[in-house]
Amino acid sequence: METVGAEKTDADARAGGSSGAGEPSAGDRGAGPVIAGAGPVARPAERATVRLRDGEPEEPPRYAPEWLRLREGADAAARARELLDPLRIRLADPPGRSGGLVVHDLGCGTGSMGRWLAPRLDGAQHWILHDRDPYLLHFAAAASPCSAADGSPVTVETRRGDVARLTPDALTGASLVTASALLDVLTREEIEALADACAGAGCPALLTLSVAGRVELAPQDPLDAEIAEAFNAHQRRAGLLGPDAVTVACEAFAERGATVRVHASPWRLGAEEAALTEQWLRGWVGAAVEQRPELGDRAAAYLSARLAACAAGALRVTVHHTDLLALPRPRGAAA
- Three-state secondary-structure class, residue 180: strand
H-only helix segments in the chain:
26-29, 65-78, 84-91, 112-117, 134-142, 188-201, 224-235, 245-255, 274-291, 296-311
Question: Interhelix angle for 188-201 vs 245-255, to 10°?
Answer: 40
> pLDDT band at residue 82, thresholds of 50, 70 and 90?
very high
Q: Read off the pLDDT of residues 149-159 as tens digits, 9 standing for 90 and up.
A: 999 999 999 98
- Three-state secondary-structure class, residue 88: helix
Q: What is the pLDDT of residue 328?
A: 87
pTM for the predicted model, two decimal places: 0.82
Across-strand partners of 105? 129, 178
Q: Read off the pLDDT of residues 187-198 as tens digits, 9 standing for 90 and up.
A: 999 899 999 999
pLDDT at residue 241 above 60? yes
> pLDDT band at residue 169, thresholds of 50, 70 and 90?
confident
pLDDT at residue 48 above 50? no
pLDDT at residue 250 above 80? yes
Q: What is the mean pLDDT of residues 315-327?
A: 98
